[in-house]
Amino acid sequence: MLPHTPRSTLPAIVALAAVLAVLAPLTAVGPAAYAAPVAAASAPTAVQTAAPPAERNPSLDHPRLPQRCLEGDEYIPSNAEICRIRWYGARRPTIVMWGDSHSWQHEPAVLEAVRGKRVNLVAFFMGSCPAHLVYRSKKGGHYRTGCEVTNAAALEWVTRQHDRGRDLRVLLGGAWSSYRLLYRAVRRGDTADVTDFQAQMATLYHEGTAKLFRRLGAEGVDTDVIAQGVFVPEDPPACDRVTPYPCDFSRKAGLPGEAATKRWLKRQMRKLPGRPVYVDPNGKVCGRSTCHGVVDGIYTFFDRGHYSATRSRTFVNHFRKSVNRLL
């Protein structure tokens, strides 16, 4: 049974619903409208340097997958097919990124981590779709959603390669806290700000994500886990009409339920084989109590819910251990 969700957590739940609303359009629409950073009174402080030049549109600074993995103008896949980002052949070691857009946002860092090495990088991404173990519906044995199709395809590919003796390592990522808190809201009936789609994805997470960890462990698939990423809270203290967001905000608002989510992920990682790595680069953009919209002249986000590609690349050292353990 789920623990009681105090009313004090509901503002965070509403903010998380807003984050999931950001995730879904990534499959179909272009970047958010860009506004230059606001005046100095609301500009980043403390560790930040000046914001990048306004003539460079940072809302375009998102991860860029090969066009063969995409359809039309989308920039995160909307189909269940594998995306071969780098491919040297089936016999080469392979990193498999698996998850929603909070996994996808780390692709530039992982790509940088495999640079100069003959390591394959493939991905199974779908926006707003939690990594989970799929079960078939009772009626007709069909999957209910594209999210389930994607996860079924990922598990089939990973287990087939593992059974063939291929060297691979899975990197699981996702908006973990979003799904966790949204599911609690659904169970409580606090659904005024939760769409049917969001509720469905949160339910898939609840029903299948922990089971996926167990299944990967049972299969003996080496798997590492990416921590919950930071996002701009729904009601930030300043710059509320500016995208990407260039100001400071509290870590608690940008990472709601951080400690509980980390504990949950660490428990799931006990099911995995070997020595799984917990990849947590959030310290690059957050201090103990404050997160920053700009650090060292680099925007943290390209929209309200995802790291910019340039920021992601600064996380490269956090992913090197996963790559090195594969070699």
Phi-psi bin for 42: left (phi > 0), alpha (psi -120 to 50), beta?
alpha
User: Is the residue at 2 inside a domain?
Assistant: no
pLDDT tens for each residue of 289-324: 999 999 999 999 999 899 999 999 999 999 999 999
pLDDT tens for each residue of 177-227: 999 988 988 888 887 878 888 888 999 999 999 999 999 999 999 999 999
pLDDT of residue 243: 78
User: Is the residue at 1 inside a domain?
Assistant: no
Return the minimum-mean-pLDDT range out of 153-157, 242-246, 260-264, 283-287: 242-246
User: Is the residue at 174 inside a domain?
Assistant: yes
How many domains does the chain contain in total?
A: 1
User: Is the residue at 28 inside a domain?
Assistant: yes
Residue 20 corresponds to which tokens in the numbers above?
Answer: 């999931």
Range of the domain at 189: 7-129+138-326
The rounded mean pLDDT for the chain is: 84
User: Is the residue at 59 inside a domain?
Assistant: yes
pLDDT of residue 39: 32
User: What CATH number is given to the structural domain containing 153?
Assistant: 3.40.50.1110
User: Is the residue at 74 inside a domain?
Assistant: yes
